[in-house]
Amino acid sequence: MLSKKTKYGIKALTFLARQEGNIPVQIATISNSENISLKFLESILLTLRKNGFLGSKKGKGGGYYLLKKPKDIQMTSVMRVLEGPIAMVPCVSLNFYEKCADCPDENTCAVHKLMIQVRDSSLEIFRNTTLADLCDC
C-alpha cells in the first residue's frame, strides 16, 4: 500500500509543477490546496529538497520550487526517495536486496517468481511516468 508520505509528496510535486514560472510557493499554500497537514508536509518537502527535487528560498516571497523540469522527474526516483524499495519483498529488490530468512531456494520459490513479475511491471510504469505526465504540464 502506498504510504501517505509518498501520496502527499506526489501531490505536492504535482502542485508545484503546475505553477507558472517556477516561482517559490509557501508551504501553507500547498498544505491548504492539497489538504495536507502542514507539519507532515514540511517533513516531506525537506526530504525532497535534500534529495535534489526541490529548492527553497527563505524570507518574503520564499517557499519551495522545482529544481528540474517536470518532464525530467521520473516516478522511480520519487518513489525510492519517499517510499523506499519498489519491490514488495526484499529478495526481488534491485537496490535493497536481502535474502528472505524463510526461503531455502529463491529459484524454486513461487512467491519470488510472482514478486519479480510485480516488481518489473511496477518499474515499467514508474520508469515511463514523469511528473509532467501526472500534471499534464
pLDDT in tens, the chain (137 residues): 899 999 999 999 999 999 988 899 999 999 999 999 999 999 999 999 999 999 999 988 889 999 999 999 999 999 999 999 889 999 999 888 989 888 889 889 999 999 999 999 999 999 999 999 999 77
Q: Are 58 and 22 in contact (CB under 8 A)?
A: no
pLDDT, position 60: 85
User: What residues contact residue 20 under an 8 Å CB cut-off, 6+ apart?
Assistant: none
**Spacing of C-alpha 33 from chain mean position:** 19
Domain encompassing residue 38: 4-66
Q: Are residues 44 and 89 in the same domain?
A: no
Among 66, 81, 111, identify where a domain stops: 66
Q: In terms of DSSP bridges, do strands 54-57 and 63-66 run parallel, antiparallel, or are they unpaired?
A: antiparallel
pTM: 0.89
Q: What is the CATH number of the domain that holds 48?
A: 1.10.10.10
